Amino acid sequence: MGREESKLKHMTMEGDHRETHYNVELTLDPEQGSLHANVELLCSPIEQQCSNLEFYLHKSMEIKSITGSVPITYQFDVEQPCSFPFTPDAGTLKIKLTQPVEDDKLLRIWFEYEGNIGVPPWEVNRITPGWVELGLYAPWFPYSPELKQFCYDVQVQIDPGYEVIGLGEVKQLGEGLWHISQKQPCADMVVMASNRFCRLRGAESGLEMELDYVDVAKWVVEDVFKKGLQALKWFSEWFGVTSSVDMRLVITPRTEGGGYARTGFVVVPRIGTESYKEQEVSYFSNLAHECAHLWWANAPVNSWEDWLNESFAEYSALIAVRELFGAERFESILAKKLKRSEGMPPIKGIKRNDERAFTVLYDKGCLVLYELEQMAGRKEFIEVLRKTFQQKVSSTAEFVELVGADVSNEAKKKLNRLLSS
């Protein structure tokens, strides 16, 4: 189905409403593990000033056509390793504008492609019978970190019997036809579908939570739901209320690949009934980490500054563990992090695609924050974190200055030493 045949009603962008916007027609075939997509990308005035644009797209995609509102050429390289650390299965799509865009016009690019994602090696995003989970990790849409944030409308066609959920407002238009609209700028386009969804709903401290799950025992789900609400309550009390008053938690049927968080949308893998009790603490810690990203997501993710997201979310999860399971368990986890951090490079300057980055950002960074808590005092350091969130701190330099002002100049110096050693 080419661009001229597309039935999607393209959104017009007038006046000051000129965010980058995707309009998508997406057809999913879970049995075959495949998708077909027609995508219209409307670039904001900032992005369209560039004559060369670079996107990431899953390397299994076969491009049918790419055209623009101005003449373009393109090259899709699936041989060279992708430089973006979160999309290992992506090819690099380079688009060159051969004619400039007029100042008062928006750049529009139309893509048509299809392919089979199946279950990629990274094992988060997938298209399988009974479960579809799509996002930027196995980029099913032309994704560019340079675009930073965007809005979108996605029309999804899938076998009847499947329910579609996603990041944004979801409506069913007809049998097997769904629409997802995201009017708030975000950095991912998450689409999920299953023919086995179950759900719970509840509220805590003014924040409503809906939990969608597939293939998980109800008593496990109820316990996860209760603990998730408790973590949200503590984070709200400690750091302040987030802009997200509604949260959707999804427990996927996969056990691989870990969890992730988007604004008001948290995803975690399934845990088996038999292993839940013995892994209860680690599962809660992982869940709380992802929930904490509702507070800690202001820093760039493609550099060492990501420690302001990951280390802070991990530390928030650990102090929630301390509240729920006690100091002994908290100290046991810290001891393991200390052992894993031995011989690791400094936080400052670590490349995000370095294989050691996970340990550095999740373990070593967490230990740095514990050192600051020891210097400041528990309640006082919670207040530092509260100010960090409320001031939307997005760089280490800002955080260092805040520590100097609110803790001590000695703490500021020690923080700089810890980050560099």
pLDDT (tens digit per residue) in 109-128: 999 999 998 787 667 999 99
Q: Report the DSSP beta bridge partners of residue 172.
A: 178
> Residue 17 pLDDT more than 80?
no
The two structure tokens encoding residue 258 = 């870990």
Question: In the CATH scheme, what architecture does the domain 304-419 have?
Answer: Orthogonal Bundle (1.10)
Whose CA is closest to 221, among 191, 246, 198? 198
**DSSP assigned state of 100:** P
CATH superfamily to which 3-193 belongs: tricorn interacting facor f3 domain (2.60.40.1730)
> Residue 332 pLDDT more than 90?
yes
pLDDT (tens digit per residue) in 150-183: 999 999 999 999 999 999 999 999 999 999 999 9
DSSP string, 103-153: TTS-EEEEEEEEEE--S-TT-SSEEETTEEEESTTTTSS-B-GGG--EEEE
CATH topology identical between 198-292 and 304-419:
yes
> Residue 18 pLDDT more than 80?
no
User: CA–CA separation, 8 vs 22, rounded Å?
Assistant: 11
| 3-class secondary structure per residue, 275-328 | HHCCCHHHHHHHHHHHHHCCCCCCCCCCCHHHHHHHHHHHHHHHHHHHHHHCHH
Going by C-beta distance under 8 Å and a sequence separation of 6 or more, which residues neighbour residue 301?
A: 86, 309, 352
- The single-letter code of the amino acid at 416 is N
> Residue 104 pLDDT more than 80?
no
Going by C-beta distance under 8 Å and a sequence separation of 6 or more, which residues neighbour residue 148?
A: 187
The two structure tokens encoding residue 248 = 């959707």
pLDDT at 245: 62
- The single-letter code of the amino acid at 412 is K
Q: Could you tell me the CA-to-CA distances from 213 to 42, 105, 188, 224, 244 in Å, in that order?
A: 34, 44, 21, 11, 21
User: CA–CA separation, 164 vs 177, rounded Å?
Assistant: 9
pLDDT at 247: 86
The two structure tokens encoding residue 242 = 């987030």
Q: What integer best gives the mean pLDDT of the chain?
A: 90
> Residue 37 pLDDT more than 90?
yes
Phi/psi at 369 (nearest 5 deg)?
A: -65, -35
- The single-letter code of the amino acid at 164 is V
pLDDT (tens digit per residue) in 259-286: 999 988 999 999 888 888 889 999 999 9
Confidence of residue 84 (pLDDT cuts 50, 70, 90): confident
> Residue 101 pLDDT more than 90?
no
User: CA–CA separation, 421 vs 143, rounded Å?
Assistant: 35
> Residue 360 pLDDT more than 50?
yes
pLDDT at 207: 76
pLDDT at 212: 96
pLDDT at 49: 59
Q: What's the rounded mean pLDDT across residues 98-117? A: 89
Q: What's the rounded mean pLDDT across residues 200-208? A: 80
pLDDT at 358: 95
CATH number for the segment(s) 198-292: 1.10.390.10
- Tell the residue number behind the tokens 């603990």, with chain if given: 227
> Residue 86 pLDDT more than 70?
yes
> Residue 220 pLDDT more than 90?
yes
> Residue 248 pLDDT more than 60?
yes
Question: Where do the structural domains in the chain lie, given as residue ranges?
Answer: 3-193, 198-292, 304-419
Q: How many CB atoms are located within 10 Å of the residue 35 CB? A: 26
Q: Report the DSSP beta bridge partners of residue 265.
A: 248, 262
Going by C-beta distance under 8 Å and a sequence separation of 6 or more, which residues neighbour residue 167?
A: 180, 182, 186, 188, 189, 190, 262, 263, 264, 265
Cβ atoms 420, 348 nearer than 8 A = yes
